[in-house]
Amino acid sequence: MALAQPRLAKSTTEIKASGVDIVVALDLSGSMISEDFEVRGQRVNRFDMARSVLKDFIDQRPNDRIGMVFFASQAYIGTPLTLDHDFLQANLDRLEIGTINENSTAIGDGLGTAINRLRDLKAKSKLVILMTDGQNNAGRLDPVQAAEAAAAMKVKVYTVGIGERGLAPMPVFMGGQKVGYQNVRVDIDEATLQKIAEKTGGKYYRADNAERFRQIYAEIDKLEKTDASIRKYSQFQELFPWLAAAGLALLLIELVLAHTAFRRLP
């Protein structure tokens, strides 16, 4: 049996995988609690809406490496680029709008930090999805300069302006409880977001309602599809040593028993 060279095979064949690396840069400034989205008759704030569509997008891209950057007056690395999407989803679930307790918006720093995550990678396609509801009023890096750096590194940037036009209902809290709403003017720097997208070969979107927000991510999903063939070689676990060892053990037992009460008569 050992000479028959039996083995267990863990074999796979050539598969299709993505050649796209994605970093999502999400605004976590205080204005993201504005509740200008409606889902099934219930008010939803900008952050929860953005998180919901992002989670669906991650589910639709199982073969992409995806990372996350969060920014307010500063930029923070939320999750490094990874194929472990369960880890990504868990991090999103833990995230709350108060995680970064800042009201300013450093769009340039957020974009720059996202670009740096992609700097040395060899993916066929590299892109950033930048989501914000405000204007660049903090940080050291100018958003347009960051876009020029992205273009030089062949990183495509899709920008999403979050929030309806006109006035948005900002919740008012007292003693930790929501007691009402205050209408606040929506102030998205669409011109800058458009420039960022144009310079990098991406596209600017305005997410002013829940359905439109989901359509935006569906469109990005369709636009950024790159298949790459990956050859996975079969792995085998050889059983020959185990069978040979068992045969040798039986032979040794027979030799030992031959000199005991179990020895054979002539």
Residue 192, pLDDT above cutoff 90? yes
Residue 62, pLDDT above cutoff 80? yes
Kindly state the average pLDDT of the residues 62-71.
Answer: 93
- pLDDT-derived band at 199 (thresholds 50, 70, 90) equals very high
1 in a structural domain = no
Question: For residue range 228-265, what is the model confidence (pLDDT) as tens digits?
Answer: 554 545 566 777 787 788 888 888 887 777 777 655 55
169 in a structural domain = yes
Question: For residue range 87-146, what is the model confidence (pLDDT) as tens digits?
Answer: 999 999 998 876 666 789 999 999 999 999 999 888 889 999 999 999 999 999 999 999
263 in a structural domain = no
Q: What is the 3-state secondary structure (H, E, C) of the chain?
A: CHHHCCEEEECCCCEEEECEEEEEEEECCHHHHCCCEEECCEEECHHHHHHHHHHHHHHHCCCCEEEEEEECCCEEEEEEEECCHHHHHHHHHHCCHHHCCCCCCCHHHHHHHHHHHHCCCCCCEEEEEEEECCCCCCCCCCHHHHHHHHHHCCEEEEEEEECCCCEEEEEEEECCEEEEEEEEECCCCHHHHHHHHHHHCCCEEEECCHHHHHHHHHHHHHHCCCEEEECCCCEEEECHHHHHHHHHHHHHHHHHHCCCCCCCCC
256 in a structural domain = no
What does pLDDT average to over the chain? 87
- pLDDT-derived band at 3 (thresholds 50, 70, 90) equals confident
The CATH number given to whatever domain includes residue 110 is 3.40.50.410
24 in a structural domain = yes
Query: Which residue range(s) make up the domain with 58?
Result: 15-228
247 in a structural domain = no
Q: Are strands 167-174 and 42-44 parallel, antiparallel or unpaired?
A: unpaired
Kindly state the average pLDDT of the residues 39-65.
Answer: 94
Question: For residue range 200-225, what is the model confidence (pLDDT) as tens digits?
Answer: 999 999 999 999 999 999 999 988 87
Choose between 255 and 29: higher pLDDT.
Answer: 29
220 in a structural domain = yes
257 in a structural domain = no
- pLDDT-derived band at 226 (thresholds 50, 70, 90) equals low
- pLDDT-derived band at 66 (thresholds 50, 70, 90) equals very high
How many other CB atoms are found less than 10 A from the CB of residue 55? 14
How many domains does the chain fold into? 1
Q: Considering only 17-26, 115-124, 166-175, which range has the smallest mean pLDDT?
A: 17-26
Cβ burial 195-227 (10 Å sphere, 16+ → b, else e) = bbbebbebbbbbbbbbeebbebbeebeeebeee
